[in-house]
């Protein structure tokens, strides 16, 4: 079972850190297909976070098709990724890539219109 880590001193919200950590564990195979995750309460205790935070992350990941809950049994990584999970994962990865790209470019003094223009030029090559 992977160890999920959250940093309460980070400016990134705890739920976002946990969600990213679980997604990464699934994507890298650290959390295998069919693997059971800790209960909401157990993970909340392990990470010293509010159980509602863990429940919120599990619910979001279930909506995205990354997890499935079996009543009375627990929360699992699905045996095979759903098309919804694959699409949601790709969209999230692209959003995060764009946010990093735009943020890094802004630190270098580039404007969004400059970036868009450059991207269009790249597409034409």
Listed by start position, the domains of the chain span: 1-79, 82-125
Listed in sequence order, the residues at least 6 apart from 57 whose beta carbon sits closer than 8 Å to its beta carbon are 15, 18, 19, 22
**pTM over 0.85, yes/no:** no
Rounded mean pLDDT of the chain? Answer: 89
Task: State residue 41's pLDDT score.
Answer: 96
Give me the percent of the chain exceeding a pLDDT of 70. Answer: 95
By the 8 A CB rule, do 41 and 23 touch?
no
pLDDT band at residue 42 under the 50/70/90 scheme: very high
**Domain 1-79: CATH architecture, name and number where available:** Orthogonal Bundle (1.10)
By the 8 A CB rule, do 85 and 66 touch?
yes
**CA 89/CA 1 separation, integer angstroms:** 21
Give me the percent of the chain exceeding a pLDDT of 90. Answer: 61
Structure-derived torsion over alpha carbons of residues 14, 20, 25, 27, reported in degrees to the nearest 10:
170
Render pLDDT for 60-115 as a digit per residue (tens, 0 to 9).
999 888 899 999 999 999 987 667 667 777 787 788 889 889 989 999 999 999 99
């Amino acid at each position: 079972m992977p160890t999920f880590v959250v940093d309460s001193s980070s400016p990134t919200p705890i739920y976002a850190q946990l969600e990213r950590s679980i997604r990464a564990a699934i994507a890298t195979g650290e959390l295998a297909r069919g693997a059971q995750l800790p209960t909401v309460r157990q993970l909340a205790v392990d990470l010293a976070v509010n159980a509602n935070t863990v429940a919120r992350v599990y619910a979001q990941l279930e909506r995205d098709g990354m997890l499935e809950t079996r009543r009375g049994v627990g929360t699992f990584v699905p045996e095979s990724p759903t098309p919804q999970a694959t699409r949601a994962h790709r969209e999230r990865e692209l959003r995060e890539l764009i946010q990093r790209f735009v943020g890094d470019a802004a630190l270098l003094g580039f404007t969004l219109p400059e970036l868009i223009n450059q991207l269009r030029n790249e597409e034409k090559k």
